[in-house]
Amino acid sequence: MTYLKNIFIQKKIDDSFLRPLGAGFAMFITLLFAVILDDTKIATIGIMGAFSYLYFQYTSVYQNIRFIFFHGISLYISFTIGIYAGFHPETIPFLISILSFFYFLVTKLFNVPKPDYFFILMLFATGTNLSDIQHIFTTSNYLLFGIFGALISGGVISFLLKLPLKNSTKN
């Protein structure tokens, strides 16, 4: 009976409503680019770049921008490799294991917070389903719109939460 009771108990979390609002804002910026530039690929591919906002932390503005930027670059690289691997399906198991191992090491060495490298591998898998070998980098560049939206959103939400510009370290 206690198991069923625990299912319906809501736990109070100490989190600002601005953090999920920032994720929506990152997607809104990306979709705004799609509407202004009248390009549906920005809406379909670029929106995945907004996943980089998920690395937002309550540390500092500089740390958030850095985490979002490097996660965005990792998404871009993984997606580009995924598109290329889609034309050589025999390489997919090797590439996914290499990417998994590499990003596992990076996340452990630099203490990257959750969701670790999940979305990086997810974008690799998504890239394998695209068949646009002539325009690999053009297709991958659509992710940059989402990454840019996530960077703007991360900066705005950091300032709204009044986070410090940089973490101060005491010696």
- d(C-alpha 62, C-alpha 77), whole Å: 23
Residue among 29, 16, 51, 65 at smallest CA distance from 164: 65
pLDDT for residue 168 is more than 70:
no
Domain boundaries, the chain: 19-160
The pLDDT score that the predictor gives to residue 1 is: 58
pLDDT for residue 80 is more than 70:
yes
Mean per-residue pLDDT over the chain, rounded: 88
Split at pLDDT 50, 70, 90, the class of 12 is: confident
- d(C-alpha 29, C-alpha 25), whole Å: 6
pLDDT for residue 89 is more than 50:
yes
Residue among 41, 48, 56, 21 at smallest CA distance from 151: 56
Of the two residues 146 and 57, the one the predictor is more confident about is 146
Least reliable range by pLDDT among 4-18, 96-110, 151-165: 4-18
Q: The tokens of 78 are what?
A: 């993984």
The pLDDT score that the predictor gives to residue 169 is: 45
C-beta separation of 75 from 51 below 8 A? yes
Longest dimension (CA), the chain: 59
